[in-house]
C-alpha cells in the first residue's frame, strides 16, 4: 500500500492505482493521476498534490555474508531475516564483532550479499548495478555513523545540505525546520572542528534527514557521546522521525536507548533473534 500525505490528512490508496512515474520512495512533488484498476490510464479520475509519499519498508531474507580472510572464509551473517515497517524504528543489538555494521552496509548497498535478498519498498538491491545503487542510496537512504563524518572544509550549513543537494532533493523549507529543531541556528557559519561532539552529531542527523530518505541507517550514532548528550541526540532524532516518512534501523550497545525504539532485536551467531531469545 502507498501512503500519501496531503498536508495533515492521510489517504491510503492501492499502489497499482497510481500512475507510473511516482512509484515509491521518500519525497515526491507534483501531480499524480489515478488509473483504473485494469491499469489503463484514461482521463484522470482526479489528481492529488503529493507532498510526501513512501512505501519504503525493509525486508531482509536469509542474508548470508562471508569475508575472505587469510585463515579462510569468515561466516559473519548466516541467514539473517529482518523486516521493518514504514515509519517504524528498530534497534539492532549484539556483541562487538557479531556483524551489525556488516548488515547495515549491506542494507545501505555499500556491499553485496553472498546469499539471500534485501528488498526496500519494491526494490531488490541485487537487481541494481553499481551506478543505479549509488543513485538509489543517495536518494533513498540516510546514514549516520559513530564517527560523525562531517566534511571539515564545509560550514555547518553546507554540511547539512550536502547530501540533499547531491540527490537533487534540497528543500530550503525542510532544511530551515531541521536547523530549528536540531538547535543549529547559531552554528550555521561554523566549521565542524568548532563544534562539540553532540553538536557535530546533530549536524550529521540533519544531513541524513535533509533529503527525506525512506530509511535512516544509524550505526552506533551515540557511541562517541556521553550519556546525557546521547539521550538528547536520540530524542531529537525520534522527534524528527515522527514528522517524516522515514523508518529507522539503529545499531546500539545501549539497552536504555534501544528501549526507546519500537522494536529491539539481537544479532547472535550470524542470525537475528528476538531480544530475550539468546
Ligand X SMILES: Nc1ncnc2c1ncn2[C@@H]1O[C@H](COP(=O)(O)OP(=O)(O)O)[C@@H](O)[C@H]1O
Total residues found in the chain within this entry: 278
Nine cell digits for residue 127: 537487481
Using CB distances below 5 to 8 A depending on partner kind, what does residue 96 bind out of Mg ion, ligand X, none? ligand X
Other CB atoms closer than 10 Å to residue 200's CB: what's the count?
Answer: 23
Give the residue closest to Mg ion by C-beta: 101
3-state helix, strand, coil split of the chain in percent (to 5) is: 30, 30, 40
Our CB check for ligand X shows the closer of 102 and 244 to be: 102
Q: Report the alpha-carbon distance of residue 58 to residue 120 in Å, rounded.
A: 5
The reply to whether 101 sits near Mg ion by the rule CB under 5 A is: yes
The reply to whether 98 sits near Mg ion by the rule CB under 5 A is: no
The reply to whether 140 sits near Mg ion by the rule CB under 5 A is: no
Using CB distances below 5 to 8 A depending on partner kind, what does residue 94 bind out of ligand X, Mg ion, none? ligand X
Using CB distances below 5 to 8 A depending on partner kind, what does residue 89 bind out of ligand X, Mg ion, none? none
Least distance in angstroms from the C-beta of 129 to Mg ion: 27
Which one of 13-21, 29-37, 100-108, 157-165 is the stretch in contact with Mg ion (CB under 5 A)? 100-108
Q: Report the alpha-carbon distance of residue 188 to residue 190 in Å, rounded.
A: 6
Could you tell me if residue 168 is left (phi over 0), alpha (psi between -120 and 50 degrees) or otherwise beta? left
Other CB atoms closer than 10 Å to residue 207's CB: what's the count?
Answer: 25
Q: Report the alpha-carbon distance of residue 144 to residue 161 in Å, rounded.
A: 15
Our CB check for Mg ion shows the closer of 184 and 216 to be: 216
Contacts to ligand X by CB under 6 A: 67, 69, 74, 76, 94, 96-102
Least distance in angstroms from the C-beta of 100 to ligand X: 3
Least distance in angstroms from the C-beta of 183 to ligand X: 30
Least distance in angstroms from the C-beta of 33 to ligand X: 45
Q: Kindly tell me the sign of the dihedral angle through the C-alpha atoms of 86, 90, 96, 98.
A: negative
Least distance in angstroms from the C-beta of 55 to ligand X: 28
Residues binding Mg ion (CB under 5 A): 101
Amino acid at each position: 500500500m502507498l501512503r500519501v500525505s496531503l498536508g495533515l490528512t492521510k489517504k491510503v490508496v492501492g499502489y497499482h492505482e497510481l500512475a507510473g512515474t511516482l512509484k515509491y520512495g521518500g519525497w515526491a512533488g507534483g501531480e499524480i493521476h489515478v488509473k483504473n484498476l485494469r491499469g489503463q490510464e484514461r482521463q484522470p479520475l482526479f489528481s492529488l498534490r503529493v507532498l510526501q509519499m513512501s512505501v519504503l519498508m525493509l525486508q531482509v531474507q536469509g542474508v548470508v555474508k562471508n569475508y575472505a580472510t587469510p585463515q579462510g572464509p569468515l561466516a559473519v551473517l548466516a541467514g539473517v531475516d529482518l523486516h521493518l515497517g514504514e515509519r517504524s524504528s528498530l534497534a539492532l543489538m549484539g556483541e562487538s564483532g557479531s556483524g551489525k555494521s556488516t548488515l547495515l552496509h549491506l542494507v545501505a548497498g555499500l556491499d553485496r550479499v553472498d546469499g539471500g535478498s534485501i528488498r526496500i519498498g519494491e526494490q531488490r538491491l541485487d537487481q541494481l548495478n553499481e551506478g543505479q545503487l549509488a543513485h538509489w542510496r543517495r536518494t533513498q537512504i540516510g546514514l549516520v555513523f559513530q564517527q560523525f563524518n562531517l566534511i571539515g572544509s564545509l560550514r555547518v550549513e553546507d554540511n547539512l545540505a550536502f547530501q540533499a543537494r547531491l540527490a537533487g532533493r534540497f528543500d530550503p523549507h525542510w532544511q530551515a525546520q531541521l536547523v530549528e529543531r536540531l538547535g543549529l541556528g547559531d552554528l550555521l557559519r561554523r566549521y565542524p572542528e568548532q563544534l562539540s561532539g553532540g553538536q557535530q552529531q546533530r549536524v550529521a542527523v540533519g544531513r541524513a534527514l535533509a533529503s527525506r530518505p525512506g530509511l535512516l541507517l544509524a550505526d552506533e550514532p551515540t557511541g562517541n557521546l556521553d550519556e546525557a548528550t546521547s539521550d538528547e541526540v536520540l530524542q531529537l532524532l525520534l522527534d524528527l522521525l515522527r514528522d517524516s516518512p522515514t523508518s529507522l534501523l539503529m545499531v546500539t550497545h545501549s539497552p536504555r536507548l534501544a528501549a526507546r525504539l519500537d522494536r529491539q532485536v539481537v544479532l547472535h551467531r550470524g542470525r537475528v533473534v528476538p531480544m530475550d531469545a539468546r
